[in-house]
Structure 1
């Protein structure tokens, strides 16, 4: 965008009259100083931190990255967790340490139904990729929709049924007041025996003590966790050394710069030309 002027944020800098801001966890002073903002572009799919800011003016449009190279990364991450659990690769790793040759039975995909919570751009790609491998897949969304190869459940009334048919639960939901703490004991214990959780959305979705209790009681088999209430995960946290928990440092789907640049500049140019790209609905939080 050679026709535009870009100003790196400076805490002590002057008012520059910016119309657009490109941010990730911006300081409150940005919105207090740049009072002419028309739109804010969030450098990621999750906008919960931005929406929680009281300084964010209600009239400013909020736009988030819808893919920007993240969907294929998220598919890879979920498939890694699913296949590690379903194919028993942890067992083989333990056998190697013991110099033990003991093949497990072939995987029965019907015994590993997958449930994907959240069918946005990333969740839809994940559900379709899992279905392409022959695993039974269901998705749960706020409203009903059609998704080939995926059984779709919608709304609070259908959540219990969705959970009860799932063994591997993949969380792809946005973090909103309605979804905070949704991965709690009451919901997780509805999963099929041998339940496995993959949380690649936000740490605020998970009640950590509930998951730990279910793992220790044998009600769930394991979890792959990429996000946490406190990040970095504090030293000594029970997840670090738990034998049934895999911890990754919020890397499931990272923003790719080149793709993000194209997406953001296209939307700015569209707005400058009088267009209306999709914006975040403040009442839903996504």
Structure 2
């Protein structure tokens, strides 16, 4: 088709005939002539109209119009046949991806993906990454747990002793009190290390209290060597009797350590 269009266009230009003259002489539409020269045969509404236009132009320009139209007709039919073959081939390829065959292709890709995933999962790099991640989590958790301030609980015997001691301050009898330390560290009272039992429990002696101010210092140290102090003062007030006011223990703490005194009657002395 390209050769025919080119041959007609070159022949017209060689003869020096304009499109208007060709259209006037052949009674053909100027638009039809342009479509033929530009190889736009698809613009014709019918194939017969395009072939007839080629035949008339060929004869007018001194070419064999019948042969030219036959060449174009053959090329157009061959093009249509090739397009038809392409459609059939595409349909066959689609039929190969039927549900029956498609699941095989999909399963094959799935097996490949699983194999790659398992290979990555058990690779040395991934195992090393998990090990480093686990160790990092362990040390971060260890650091957090051992930088939090410890909590010291003093139980009822100590409270009972304080009450008895304030009311009978002249006694020289030594008494014992119990408590529990939550957190890693050690406890010192008046520079004396208090042994700890399993679970952080401890038991120690306490001397009779003075009638006025009494100062205790608890020192705790965690595994990182960070030492904190718990300082609290126990005093007696003459404004109220012990039977009227049981909150006779004043606790002074710093911002690093929490301290709690537990009473049997669930009243907490602050």
Q: TM-score, normalised by structure 2?
A: 0.21
Which protein is bigger by CA-based radius of gyration? 2
Q: TM-score, normalised by structure 1?
A: 0.20
Q: Which has the higher helix share?
A: 2
Larger RCO, structures 1/2 (Cα 8 Å, 6+ apart): 1
